Chains A and B, each alone.
Chain A
Amino acid sequence: MTTSIESQVLQPYKYGFVTDIESDNVPAGLNEDIIRLISARKGEPAFMLEWRLKAFRHWVTMTEPTWANVKYPPIDYQAIVYYAAPRQAKSLDSLEQVDPKLIETFEKLGIPLSEQKRLSGVAVDAVFDSVSVATTFKETLAQQGIIFCPFSEAVREHPALIEQYLGTVVPTNDNFFAALNSAVFTDGSFAYIPKGVRCPLELSTYFRINAAASGQFERTLIIADEGSYVSYLEGCSAPMRDANQLHAAVVELIALDDAQIKYSTVQNWYPGDEEGRGGIYNFVTKRGKCAGRNSKISWTQVETGSAITWKYPGCLLVGDHSIGEFYSVAVTNNRQQADTGTKMIHIGKNTRSTIVSKGISAGRGQNTYRGQVKILKGATGARNYSQCDSMLIGDQCGAHTFPYIDVRNSTAIMEHEASTSKIGEDQIFYCRQRGLSAEDATSMIVNGFCKEVFRELPMEFAVEAQRLLGISLEGSVG
């Protein structure tokens, strides 16, 4: 009964295939010429190029952060290809013009793009390497004034919105990886929900890295105007390769008065093999600004993939009575490392934040929760509730917790709860004695542990997340 453990751990990553498609790359390396080249390829207005160059000039003065509880060899930023696009017709007017290989790729990933098979209730922007290849339901959404399109299209079609909001939540000099992203980002999604509109569909972006030696640097910007609501989902995967690949994305969310943004991620980048070879470095900056009164931003993330995860989706609670939420499940198995958590910065009065973090470590995985809650002087009546639970499977993994709390207003109410548990032989045995297999027992115990987070996910994603969790942990208990 224990002999199957190894064979199950060795089970191949399901999404590890490579699409054989001709790719239009820029040469490896990073300098101002490369940035000019990327900007020219995308047909960007002058302000965009200037913005990129400013970010780049700042980036070269910065050093890579080393404070995270992760270990990896130095990254050679001159060896990375910063732009890789599947070669196809210049402008795509309809899906028929998209290379069938790309359609097929996304279909294999469970993201049908064609009219007949589209996921009902979900509008998808499909990003392949550095470019968006298709966006579904665009017209349906446009009828309500909702803009949902590839980022590069937004730069061309809606430059005023981009100029007004880009970099207002995550400035170009925010951190090393955000600065890098600002200099070289290639595509991503843009969404604008007009005043008072409740977005009728789930908006979703699916990111796929395909080309070898390339990095993916996408940028997402979502603006929810007064009184609007949007739920946004993000998914991702990558082929299995022996070399590590860098993914450094930036996501900015802006919620104006009474607006609400719900942002969910199921992150399933290639995690590397059981010895820790290959896998994606997922170094991502995600931040939301609750700019308006009574605005609300919720982050829900399920992080099962990547060799290394470094991300702290946070909220700037600027508007009075605004609410920030962070619900996270992070799984590390084999040699995966995750240093993830959130930042809740209370600026406005009577602002509230909730943090629920579930870390699961198996194999030799290292899982770190790092969270900052900051109550600024003017944030009278702020409240925070943090709950931070770790689960260990086996005896070679690690769980770490680094909560930072900084309170500068005496009216604040802070609660912090933390727990660490171990899936015990007795728990598994109890389930097996009732007829469940060891695998089913593990999956049930882990799902129960994550329940508070899963119930925040949209329906389609909750099912996917539970399944993913099952795959990630397969074989970790015998």
Chain B
Amino acid sequence: MSPVKTPMLEITNLHASVDGKAILRGIDLVVNAGEVHAIMGPNGSGKSTLAQVLAGHPAYAVTAGSIRYEGKDLLELDPEERAREGVFLAFQYPVAIRGITNAYFLRSALNAVRKHRGQPELDPLEFLDLLAEKLKAIDSDDSLTNRPVNDGFSGGEKKRNEILQMAVLEPKLAILDETDSGLDIDALRTVAGAVDKLRRPDNATVVVTHYQRILNYITPDVVHVLSAGRIVLSGGKELALELEARGYDWVRAEAAV
């Protein structure tokens, strides 16, 4: 543990709504570089909303509170600016783009990020080299790279593809929105294992999940329980196991006291 940690993400009293319906009702959360935070909670507690708000989805309105990311006001930034600054969301439901290969999509995205960082853009050949390296880093083959983005992908392939994008774009803050949902045990091991391989002291990961099992592969530093739009309980990795054993009702009961 370094003596002084730089807060990468600082969420203060965050309120957000969708279609006029309040979902987040005062979230406070600090995530430091090098940390993995798990956000758990029952259906409808606001987990995915938090992920979407962090990424800047236009359908979600922030009604109060602030989000600071690396000292900047995150809410001031457009979604693409957030992405270029290193915020990555692994989607729960990745979207298909017909006729555009994964490789082309990824190179366009990476070059947008590189341009923002003042780095030279990569030509297709340079990119293929980089892609090969990244695929190796996450123990993946190249079976997805020349297929159209998420078009006709199985659930497992979509999630694997999200992690491949994460490996290529090298985000500082990665938010995984129920990346474990819809995966069988083997696919979960592959996908979560890949995420774990991408951990570095200078990046942070927020894992949004219903279940403890993904945390067997990505050990969290902190586990938070979200209920009715607020974090009602935080603890170490053992909290996840306790939730797995006891469910969420007791947390809700305690929170209501």
Q: Give chain A's interface residues, CB within 8 Å of chain B.
A: 1, 424-427, 429-438, 440, 444-445, 447-452
The interface residues of chain A, by DSSP majority, are classed as helix
Q: CB < 8 Å: which of A425, A432, A445, A450 contacts B97? A: A445
Q: Judging by beta carbons under 8 Å apart, are A436 and B100 in contact?
A: no
Q: Judging by beta carbons under 8 Å apart, are B97 and A448 in contact?
A: yes
Q: CB < 8 Å: which of A1, A426, A449 contacts B95? A: A426
A434 to B82, CA, bound (A): 9
Chain B residues 135-184 with CB under 8 Å of chain A are 148, 165, 169
Q: Judging by beta carbons under 8 Å apart, are A434 and B109 in contact?
A: yes
Q: CB < 8 Å: which of A433, A436, A438 contacts B108? A: A436
Interface residues on B, range: 20 to 34
Chain A min CB distance to B150 (Å): 9
Identify 5 new A-B residue pairs, CB closer than 8 A, beyond the known A430-B95, A444-B108, A445-B97.
A427-B97, A429-B55, A434-B105, A435-B84, A435-B116
- Closest A residue, CB atoms, query B88: A433
Q: CB < 8 Å: which of A426, A436, A448, A452 contacts B112? A: A436
- With contact pairs A434-B165, A435-B83 given, residues A425 and B98 touching in the complex (Cβ less than 8 Å): no
Chain B min CB distance to A463 (Å): 15
Chain A min CB distance to B238 (Å): 33
Chain B min CB distance to A438 (Å): 8
A-B contact pairs, 24 of them (CB 8 A): A424-B95, A425-B59, A429-B58, A429-B79, A430-B97, A432-B56, A433-B79, A433-B80, A433-B82, A434-B83, A434-B109, A434-B112, A435-B84, A435-B112, A435-B113, A437-B80, A438-B80, A440-B108, A440-B112, A444-B97, A448-B98, A448-B148, A451-B100, A452-B99
- In the complex, how many residue pairs between chain A and chain B have their CB atoms under 8 Å apart? 76
A435 to B95, CA, bound (A): 15
Q: CB < 8 Å: which of B56, B58, B98, B169 contacts A434? A: B169
Q: Judging by beta carbons under 8 Å apart, are A444 and B80 in contact?
A: no
For B106-146 the 0/1 string (1 means CB < 8 A from A) is 00111011001000000000000000000000000000000
For B70-108 the 0/1 string (1 means CB < 8 A from A) is 000000001110111000110100110111100001001
Closest 6 CB pairs of A and B: A448-B99, A451-B99, A434-B109, A435-B112, A448-B100, A432-B79
Q: Judging by beta carbons under 8 Å apart, are A436 and B97 in contact?
A: no
- With contact pairs A425-B59, A432-B83, A440-B108 given, residues A1 and B78 touching in the complex (Cβ less than 8 Å): yes
